[in-house]
């Protein structure tokens, strides 16, 4: 069976100022090793007022003919020509990172509230919130109504950055969490221990697949297997805008964004924005497609383009 040949990739320009590009959406052809920028998040047709200082595009989910993309505190729906169809905000959506689709809903990480929000695709509203807690090896989850007062106070102690949903429940992880949590109605438990500083952790082939961002590697491990493949690095002299990041957070080889294409082939993102294809069975990186050499320009979300 042929593998998907194109992926959508979002990027965030870390430390960018108003008036600069804050990233965008790219369609990357993995076979031809080429790309097209579909949307620049500094497009003058987009109204940034009230959309927060932390701009850029994050998680992506393609559902039917719509492309859902999360910004920091707003969920956008685009048509296939990448025109904004609608957008939604919520008082408990802040610093959103990844999103995923399952069973007629989108699940969004609200990093600023250590929470997961559910967006009902039929009713087009946020209908469930789950605040996650983790400490001393014990995990917890508190359900709240995101359309009413009385929800959680702002908190980012876990830095939730990924949610994966399937028929067995939700799998949640964060930058400051040494565990991938499994959340089902009325219960939450540790699914697997993972390194701190990870992104995109999810169950995979009886184990866990993740970006070990602090170690600059894509990692898959299970009870009898461990694969670690370095993300690409570039000579320092090739990097651009190295001194332009006032925040001091931009660096190269920051791995984020991960999507399996098969049981052995996965696509991952890194900075400066690069899309790489990894062969887990061979334990090697097959190819890398660079989209920018601006070290501030960091890949974020990756989704298969089905059209």
pLDDT at 1 over 60: no
pLDDT at 51: 38
Q: Which of 15-29, 108-122, 156-170 has the lowest mean pLDDT?
A: 15-29
Q: How far is CA 23 from the centre of its chain?
A: 14
Distance separating alpha carbons of residues 255 and 214, to the nearest angstrom:
8
Helices (H), 16-77: none
pTM of the model: 0.93
DSSP symbol at 241: S
Cα distance between the two ends of the chain: 17
Percentage of the chain exceeding pLDDT 70: 91
Distance separating alpha carbons of residues 303 and 131, to the nearest angstrom:
26
- Which of 8, 165, 163 is closest to 98 using CA atoms? 163
pLDDT at 2: 75
Compute and round to an integer the Cα radius of gyration of the chain: 18
pLDDT at 237 over 70: yes
pLDDT: is 32 or 12 the higher one? Answer: 32
Correct CATH for 6-230 of 3.20.20.70, 3.30.2180.10, 2.130.10.10, 3.40.190.10: 2.130.10.10
- Which of 25, 131, 132, 43 is closest to 80 using CA atoms? 25
pLDDT tens readout for residues 25-47: 999 999 999 999 998 876 544 55
Percentage of the chain exceeding pLDDT 90: 82
Distance separating alpha carbons of residues 284 and 287, to the nearest angstrom:
9
N residues, the chain: 307
**For the chain, domain boundaries:** 6-230
Distance separating alpha carbons of residues 306 and 8, to the nearest angstrom:
10
pLDDT at 57: 87
Distance separating alpha carbons of residues 189 and 24, to the nearest angstrom:
36
| Side-chain half-sphere exposure of 206, counting CA atoms within 13 A | 5
What is the per-residue DSSP string for 253-266? T----EEESSSSEE
Query: Do the Cβ atoms of 23 and 59 come closer than 8 Å?
Result: no
> How many angstroms separate the most distant Cα atoms in the chain?
53
pLDDT tens readout for residues 48-89: 443 334 557 899 999 999 999 999 899 999 999 999 999 999
Residue/partner pairs of 85-94 with CB below 8 Å, 24 or more apart: 86/124, 88/119, 88/124, 88/125, 88/126, 90/117, 90/126, 90/146, 90/147, 91/146, 91/151, 92/117, 92/126, 92/129, 92/144, 92/146, 92/151, 92/152, 93/117, 93/126, 93/146, 94/154
């Amino acid at each position: 069976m042929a593998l998907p040949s194109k992926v959508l990739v979002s990027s965030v320009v870390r430390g960018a100022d108003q008036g600069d590009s804050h990233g965008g959406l790219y369609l990357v052809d993995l076979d031809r090793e080429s790309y097209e920028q579909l949307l620049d998040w500094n497009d003058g047709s987009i109204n940034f007022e009230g959309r927060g200082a932390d701009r850029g595009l994050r998680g992506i989910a393609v559902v039917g003919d719509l492309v859902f993309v999360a910004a920091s505190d707003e969920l956008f729906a685009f048509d296939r020509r990448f025109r904004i169809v609608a957008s939604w905000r919520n008082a408990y959506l802040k610093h959103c990172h990844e999103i995923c689709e399952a069973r007629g809903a989108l699940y969004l990480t609200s990093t600023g509230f250590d929470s997961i929000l559910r967006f009902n695709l039929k009713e087009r509203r946020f209908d469930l919130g789950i605040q996650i807690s983790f400490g001393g090896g014990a995990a917890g989850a508190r359900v709240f109504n995101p359309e009413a007062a009385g929800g959680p106070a702002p908190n980012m102690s876990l830095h939730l950055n990924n949610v994966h949903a399937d028929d067995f429940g939700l799998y949640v992880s964060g930058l400051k969490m040494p565990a991938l949590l499994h959340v089902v109605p009325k219960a939450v438990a540790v699914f697997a221990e993972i390194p701190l500083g990870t992104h995109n952790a999810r169950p995979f082939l009886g184990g866990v697949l993740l970006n070990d961002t602090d170690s600059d590697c894509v990692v898959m491990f299970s009870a009898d297997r461990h694969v670690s493949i370095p993300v690409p690095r570039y000579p320092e002299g090739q990097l651009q805008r190295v001194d332009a990041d006032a925040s001091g957070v931009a660096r190269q080889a920051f791995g984020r964004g991960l999507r399996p294409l098969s049981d052995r082939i996965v696509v991952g993102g890194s900075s400066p924005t690069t899309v790489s294809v990894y062969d887990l069975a061979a334990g090697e990186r097959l190819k890398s497609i660079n989209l920018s050499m601006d070290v501030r320009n960091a890949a974020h979300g990756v989704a298969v383009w089905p059209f």
